[in-house]
Amino acid sequence: MTGDVVLDARAVGKRFPGVVALSDVDLTLAAGEVHALVGENGAGKSTLIKVLTGVHPPDSGELVFQGGPVRFSRPLDAQAAGISTVYQEINLVPLMSVASNLFLGREPRTRWGLMDFRAMNTAASTLLRSYGVEVDVTRPLRTLGAGVRQMVAVARAAATDARVVILDEPTSSLEPREVDTLFAIIDRVRAGGAAVLYVSHRLDELYRICDTVTVLRDGRKVHSGPMAELPRLRLVALMLGRDLEQIRKEGTTKFDSAQPEARQTPVLAAKGLTSPHLLHGVDVTVRPGEIVGLGGLLGAGRSETVRAIAGSLPVDSGTVTVAGKSVRSGSVAAAMRAGVVMLPEDRKSDGILPDLSVRENIVLAALPRLSAAGLVSRKRQDTIVDTFIRRLRIKASSPDQKVGELSGGNQQKVLLARLLCREPKVLLLDEPTRGIDVGAKAEVQALVAELAAEGLGVVLISSEFEEVVEGSDSIVVLREGHVVAQLRGGDVTEQKLIAALAEGGDG
Amino acid sequence: MTAVTEQAAVAVADKGMTKREWIAGLVQRRGSVVVLALVILVSSFSFDTFATLDNARNVAMQSSFLAIVALGMTFVIISGGIDLSVGSVYALGGVLAAIGIQWGSVAGLLLPLVVCGGIGLLNGALVAYGRLAPFIVTLATLLGARGLLLAITDEGANTRLMPRDAVLTQIGQGTLLGFGYPVWIAVVLFAVGVVVLQRTRVGHSVLAIGGSAEAARLMGLPVARRTMWLYTASGLLAGLSGALAAAYSASGVTIVGVGFELDAIAAVVIGGTLLTGGAGTVGGTLAGVLLLMVIQNVINQIGTLSSHYQSVVSGAFLAAVVAIQAYLSRAHLGRERST
Ligand SMILES: Nc1ncnc2c1ncn2[C@@H]1O[C@H](COP(=O)(O)OP(=O)(O)O)[C@@H](O)[C@H]1O
Ligand SMILES: [Mg+2]
């Protein structure tokens, strides 16, 4: 089924200050195969991709592309050679239209050499429609959701006549249905004889679509071979560097928060949240120690609900009460003072300050607490930062490493640390494990359960149903801004959730 | 192929454009033109001497020099940068034209273009390849060019006159259909600018670079090269404008152009270009320039007001525009994402 070797990376090494990101990594991509690249967060997957595509020059090793040695010094060179890439952090221009983003650099031109917008827009619509996305291509990309943006990025990469298509965690912001569409696209690319390098943390997806797999751990290649010959457990064991027995025991990890007592006053009571076109009278109640999941599909109003609670989405009506006290709506500051903190969906644009250090990112929020008479004691800072780095197992070369240099999962943990040092009462988590590998995901889930056990109220959003079901004590199911069902106790199962989504429940 | 097309289309939560977004976009793009029209309309009724052909010629002439500088600035700002050196480079261009003209008009035009283009190239190389902040780099060349200017003119002691009959001087002073050549040159340059920004791949890539330089780089656009040439063009245009202004007044004066870069930036921003880059229009900049110049003209018409009030009014205007932009873009951002 697979053909000639298209791209061969030999003994590639790459170090960053304080970190060896890759050492002696080999990777061979053959025509017509989908090659999985897996590893925990920080294993070096994104770095390997950036080395392959000319973003980072390798420190050692060589690249052989279509039979000849190559050295890409810019992304442009790799693209011109026929390697197209969707990087992990979606890289498109938000202010520009969908069509412009698809065609930047290869815009159709009239015979006068000017851009032909009509042709470009038509081609863009046709292309996206063939990928199952219906959208007005003249709209600025910024006005569209993460799922559509991701599809645009993929369409852009797959549309060029590439010999190699690289996808770094393309499904992390996609809904299940969109994942199907993506896989159809990948099939098409594979059938066309190109090689696909596919990075994902979702094991189901890997086994569904990939032919071959390479596993990285701590910057080294630990395995490479046919996907079908590698049992799941062994794959996880390879990624984590633990033995199978250990995994079997821990594999059943679940949130096991204490059952909340119904009598307790809710730590969070949101009633009748209404915002035009987005929310229509949404109620959410969370008791101390309880984790309430929000179920729903793209556009159901899950993010809007938590944003309304956190005060970042203005509401027309509805009240939010925290621990019995009502909170002024539409004010993030008021919500924070009341003890409500939110982990936003899009950490890149909403939360993290990539150029500041891990320490600064964490203490930023804690400043009011750390300062005595306006001075921030460095020692207090250090204690808090060290505690969180240890407790959340943040992998950084030092507290002074820039957050932008950390892997996605570790950035997420830094954000979480920042929220936690405010000692909140209510924690709103919007896709807390998006783009995080299985190991870190279990850690984050365990951590959330731990926090709930300490009496925190948690609202959890995840597009992975399994995660919502496993993680929540009860689930509020939303559709088009309405609450269509409430699942409690024994009803918190994937089947019931899907049924509620499909039928809208009875009330 | 069919496997994909036959699939039910992924339902995209299409939120449509709200009225507010629509208004935001409109104010952004056309606000300066509307205000310009209003100011002209009101002034025409208020002052007999305003809506005359003579006055129009006068304003057009005054505007042309700033417009040419602001054109280069528009591209630089859209790309996410800034060029503070243009005021000094403008003055340098004028003095170099006056020096060069002693070897003929061609030399009088080439000398400023080569030197000022060179300064722009230096700016561009340092920003694009040296990865230095545009603000700092062009502040350095602002000071450097001013110093060079003072050095070659003995601290500005000698003002060089340009022979009235030279071709270059004639380009500065001659007219076509009543309007001076510099006006026509500015019009042609702006027409080219509009086409380049809106209808060419180069213009498109400038918008992309300003929108997100990292994304543009990862998409394979030649970000560094583009950036370098933008600053070069800005230097060239500033030098050309200076040379034309010198030709117009038949003298190369050292002290002109102080703060000219700020007028250019103000015109660009008033014209609806985002100071943060990624969006803007050449036409808007033209409206911004005219607006500044018309306000100045009106204040002169009033006569009793000190001309310093021009700065006050322009400043107030700029603040209002930036405030509206900020407000509208926040309105925009509030709707950026969905579940
Ligand atoms: N630009 C950078 N500067 C410094 N360190 C980096 C940079 N990019 C990645 N790293 C480090 O290299 C390691 C590998 O990261 P990455 O390739 O992003 O992992 P993965 O994609 O597998 O999660 C991590 O320790 C990360 O902190
Ligand atoms: Mg990664």
Domains of chain A by range and CATH? 5-89+161-242 (3.40.50.300), 268-503 (3.40.50.300)
Question: Minimal Cα–Cα distance from A46 to chain B, Å?
Answer: 13
Residue that has been written with the tokens 């190699």 in this structure: A164
Least confident stretch, A194-208, A458-472, B20-34 = B20-34
pLDDT of residue A373: 53
Q: Is the whole model's pTM more than 0.80, yes or no?
A: no
Contact call for residues A29 and A164 (beta carbons, < 8 A): yes
Side chain identity at residue A356, one-letter code: L
What is the spatial order of strands in the sheet that A60-65 belongs to?
A19-30, A5-16, A60-65, A68-70
Mean pLDDT in residue range A448-471: 83
Mean pLDDT in residue range A273-279: 86
Q: At A9, is the pLDDT very low, low, confident or very high (cuts 50, 70, 90)?
A: very high
Q: Is the pLDDT of residue B109 over 90?
A: yes
pLDDT of residue B328: 65
pLDDT of residue B261: 93
Distance A411 CA to ligand 1 centre (A): 11
Q: Is the pLDDT of residue A454 over 90?
A: no
Kindly determine whether residue A93 and residue B334, on different chains, have CB atoms separated by under 8 Å: no
Q: In whole angstroms, what is the distance from residue A127 CA to residue B48 CA?
A: 59
- Domain B29-40+50-328 top-level CATH class: mainly alpha
Residue that has been written with the tokens 């159901």 in this structure: A300
Q: In whole angstroms, what is the distance from residue A15 CA to residue B33 CA?
A: 53
Higher pLDDT: A188 or A439? It is A188
Question: Of B91, B38, B29, nearest to B290 (Cα)?
Answer: B38
pLDDT of residue A506: 43
Query: Chain A contacts of B15, Cβ < 8 Å?
Result: 143, 277
pLDDT of residue A142: 83
Q: Is the pLDDT of residue A364 over 90?
A: no
Q: Is the pLDDT of residue A381 over 60?
A: yes
Mean pLDDT in residue range B164-183: 88
Q: Is the pLDDT of residue A86 over 90?
A: no
- Measured from the alpha carbon of residue A43, the closest ligand is 1
Q: How far is CA A13 from the centre of its chain?
A: 27
* % of chain B surpassing 90 pLDDT: 50
Q: Which of A22, A46, A86 to mutate to test the pocket of ligand 1 (most atoms within 8 A of CB)?
A: A46
Q: Is the pLDDT of residue B11 over 50?
A: no
Side chain identity at residue A399, one-letter code: P
Q: At B7, is the pLDDT very low, low, confident or very high (cuts 50, 70, 90)?
A: very low
Q: Which of A239, A240, A405 to mutate to test the pocket of ligand 1 (most atoms within 8 A of CB)?
A: A405
Question: Of A486, A460, A481, A495, nearest to A293 (Cα)?
Answer: A460
Instruction: Tell me the CA distances in angstroms from A98 to A168, A380, B210, one per residue in order.
Output: 21, 47, 16
Chain A residues 23-52 within an 8 A CB cutoff of chain B: none
Contact call for residues B288 and B86 (beta carbons, < 8 A): no
Q: At A22, is the pLDDT very low, low, confident or very high (cuts 50, 70, 90)?
A: very high
Q: Is B276 on the interface with A (CB under 8 A)?
A: no
pLDDT of residue B10: 38
pLDDT of residue A253: 34
Which residue(s) pair with A84 in the sheet?
A165
**Measured from the CB, is residue A21 less than 6 Å from ligand 1?**
yes
Transcribe B202-218 into DSSP letters: HHHHHHHHHH-HHHHHH
Report which DSSP code applies to A89: S
pLDDT of residue A254: 34
* A30 backbone φψ class: left, alpha, beta (φ>0; ψ -120 to 50): beta
pLDDT of residue A264: 66
Transcribe A273-304 into DSSP letters: EEETTTEEEEEEEE-TT-EEEEE--TTSSHHH
Q: At A349, is the pLDDT very low, low, confident or very high (cuts 50, 70, 90)?
A: low
Q: Is the pLDDT of residue A165 over 50?
A: yes
Q: Is the pLDDT of residue B54 over 50?
A: yes
Q: In whole angstroms, what is the distance from residue A208 CA to residue A185 CA?
A: 14
Higher pLDDT: A297 or A65? It is A65
**Measured from the CB, is residue A399 less than 6 Å from ligand 1?**
no
Question: Minimal Cα–Cα distance from A114 to chain B, Å?
Answer: 5
In this structure, are strands A195-199 and A164-168 parallel, antiparallel, or unpaired? parallel
Least confident stretch, A311-320, A370-379, B24-33, B316-325 = A370-379
Mean pLDDT in residue range A102-125: 91
Q: Is the pLDDT of residue A257 over 50?
A: no
pLDDT of residue B303: 73
Task: Retrieve residue A153's tokens.
Answer: 């990025």
Distance A20 CA to ligand 1 centre (A): 9
Q: Is the pLDDT of residue B52 over 70?
A: yes
Least confident stretch, A106-115, A134-143, A381-390, B136-145 = A381-390
Contacts of B101 (CB under 8 A, 6+ apart): B107, B108, B162, B163, B166, B168, B169
pLDDT of residue B285: 95
Contact call for residues A465 and A204 (beta carbons, < 8 A): no
Q: In whole angstroms, what is the distance from residue A52 CA to residue A70 CA?
A: 10
Mean pLDDT in residue range B260-284: 91
Tell the burial category of A368 from Cβ atoms under 10 Å away from its Cβ (0-12, 13-18, 19+).
exposed
- Measured from the alpha carbon of residue A405, the closest ligand is 1
pLDDT of residue A123: 93
In this structure, the number of other CB atoms found within 10 A of the CB of residue A1 comes to 7
Q: Is B278 on the interface with A (CB under 8 A)?
A: yes
Mean pLDDT in residue range B258-282: 90
Chain B residues 188-247 within an 8 A CB cutoff of chain A: 195, 199-201, 204-205, 207-208, 211-212, 214-222
Which residue(s) pair with A274 in the sheet?
A280, A317
Contact call for residues A403 and A411 (beta carbons, < 8 A): yes
Q: In whole angstroms, what is the distance from residue B312 CA to residue B334 CA?
A: 33
Q: In whole angstroms, what is the distance from residue B14 CA to residue A143 CA?
A: 9
Q: At A347, is the pLDDT very low, low, confident or very high (cuts 50, 70, 90)?
A: low
Residue spans per domain, chain B: 29-40+50-328
Question: Minimal Cα–Cα distance from A408 to chain B, Å?
Answer: 17
pLDDT of residue A504: 54
Q: In whole angstroms, what is the distance from residue A137 CA to residue A100 CA?
A: 8
Task: Please report the atom of ligand 1 found closest to the CA of residue A437.
Answer: 23
Task: Give CA angle at A464 (A46, A154), nearest 5°.
Answer: 45
Q: In whole angstroms, what is the distance from residue B73 CA to residue A399 CA?
A: 41
Residue that has been written with the tokens 């320490």 in this structure: A359
Side chain identity at residue B49, one-letter code: T
Q: Is the pLDDT of residue B229 over 70?
A: yes
Tell the burial category of B77 from Cβ atoms under 10 Å away from its Cβ (0-12, 13-18, 19+).
buried
**Mean pLDDT of chain A, nearest integer:** 82
Least confident stretch, A89-93, A139-143, A246-250, B166-170 = A246-250
Q: Which of A406, A411, A433, A437 to mutate to test the pocket of ligand 1 (most atoms within 8 A of CB)?
A: A406
Q: Is A10 helix (H, G, I), strand (E, B) or coil?
A: strand
Least confident stretch, A486-495, B20-29, B179-188, B218-227 = B20-29
Residue that has been written with the tokens 């190389």 in this structure: B125
Mean pLDDT in residue range A166-191: 83
Question: Of A173, A215, A188, A161, nearest to A40 (Cα)?
Answer: A215
Q: At A412, is the pLDDT very low, low, confident or very high (cuts 50, 70, 90)?
A: confident
Question: Of A497, A468, A471, A494, nearest to A485 (Cα)?
Answer: A497
Residue that has been written with the tokens 């592309």 in this structure: A65
Q: Is A404 on the interface with B (CB under 8 A)?
A: no
Q: Is A444 on the interface with B (CB under 8 A)?
A: no
Contact call for residues B250 and B11 (beta carbons, < 8 A): no
Q: Is the pLDDT of residue B187 over 60?
A: yes
The helix or strand, by DSSP H or E, that contains position A100, with its residue range, turns out to be helix A98-103
Question: Minimal Cα–Cα distance from B280 to chain A, Å?
Answer: 11
pLDDT of residue A368: 59
